[in-house]
Amino acid sequence: MQWEAVLAPRMGRMKASEIRELLKLLDQPDIISFAGGIPDPKLFPTESFRDALARALEPGKADAALQYSVSEGSMALRRWLAQHMAGLGMPCGVDNILITSGSQQALDYLGKLMIGTDDTVLVNWPTYLGALGAFNAYEPRYDRLDPGSNREAADFAQTAKAAGGKPKFIYLSVDFANPTGETLDRAQRDRVLTLAEELDCAIVEDAAYQALRYDGEPIPPILALEIAQKGNIDACRTIYCGSFSKTLAPGLRVGWIVAASDVIRRLVLMKQAADLHSSTLNQIAVADVAERVFESHVAGLRAVYRQRRDAMLAALDREMPEGVRWKKPEGGMFVWITLPEGMDGAALLARAIQTERVAFVPGRAFFADGSGANTIRLSFSLNEPEVVAQGIARLAKVIRASM
């Protein structure tokens, strides 16, 4: 059968993730990989999860843990999250929370909820590759969001109308963004809120890395700022996406959405039609572990990842030739590198793997328009400081040879 004849046009917008392909390199022991933005498995709270799963499967509890559950998600987990969100300045009720199979599912649902063909999504340039992948299936166009610029809402609206749609939402990660590691300051967050009000569009706030701050003072999330203004989450246009993947364990695929209850009700309908509910057993285990060790465990992660970030920054200062630029992230898992003009990150990756056995992610995939060829993303989360130093020295050697 010629499957192309029956495929929907949207399939032409869907491409393989460069990051997922590069993760296969982790199986090669001689590769030093800065590619995957993944947590170090040696830091997982394994014993806590082993104990939590044992408790969940005790006589009298196992039937519920292994049974179908409600689409909204575990009540115990949503109650913990409501307390957690309140501690971050975002008071909400359990009816404002939906549990998802990772925050990636949340992005897919939000794209399905809001994007019509040729509607506009405002994103940073560059932005998270997984968000572009999730949204592309719904055939949007992208416009460049620069929170530090003075571009007027009317210009965004006019450009979107000329393309046959309208601005539906602003997508961004305000803390230690993937891939750049950048953090929006308070004025920029206020500017995003104002812009969304003027455009009458939603804001999707991706908070995957919010807990991993190593330096500086925390800045309120956009949803917290909006709740402070409006007094009630049900009056807010900001939709907050959280995840346990970077803090507890990614393999359990547990994330969450916090939003106005009217939005959550619509998302629940999607959940019912898609996978009914996220894993009951996984939700019970995550709720148990979060209740017992979340704060202490995340504090330990911050100490380890801070050390690895500092090792990468020191190695970059020591090894990189003139013309290579980067910024110090205050948290997260990434350092964003800008190479000299004319150097191509994808070609550099091929040479780096072949000659020095070091891997990273070329930056072009993070740009909605395919630009940014002279950029690369490095992740420091997976490797010990001495391995980081060795890998950066290898990378610098390849870059010098390519100049």
Mean pLDDT estimate for the chain:
95
- State pLDDT tens for residues 22-47: 666 666 788 999 998 899 999 999 99
**Domains of the chain and any CATH numbers:** 3-44+295-402 (3.90.1150.10), 46-293 (3.40.640.10)
16 vs 317, more confident: 317
pLDDT value at residue 100: 98
Q: In the predicted model, is pLDDT for residue 384 greater than 90?
A: yes
Q: In the predicted model, is pLDDT for residue 9 greater than 80?
A: no
Q: In the predicted model, is pLDDT for residue 210 greater than 80?
A: yes
Q: In the predicted model, is pLDDT for residue 286 greater than 80?
A: yes
Is this structure's pTM higher than 0.85?
yes
Q: Which of 261, 229, 256 is nearest to 243 (CA)?
A: 256
Task: Please compute the mean of the pLDDT values over residues 252-275 and round it to a whole number.
Answer: 97
Q: How many CB atoms lie within 10 A of CB 317?
A: 10
- List strands edge to edge, sheet with 255-258: 97-100, 255-258, 238-243, 202-206, 167-172, 120-123, 141-144
- State pLDDT tens for residues 309-364: 999 999 999 999 999 999 999 999 999 999 999 999 999 998 999 999 999 999 99
State the burial class of residue 77 (Cβ atoms within 10 Å of its Cβ: 0-12, 13-18, 19+).
buried
Question: Which residues does residue 189 pair with via DSSP β-bridges, in sequence order?
Answer: none
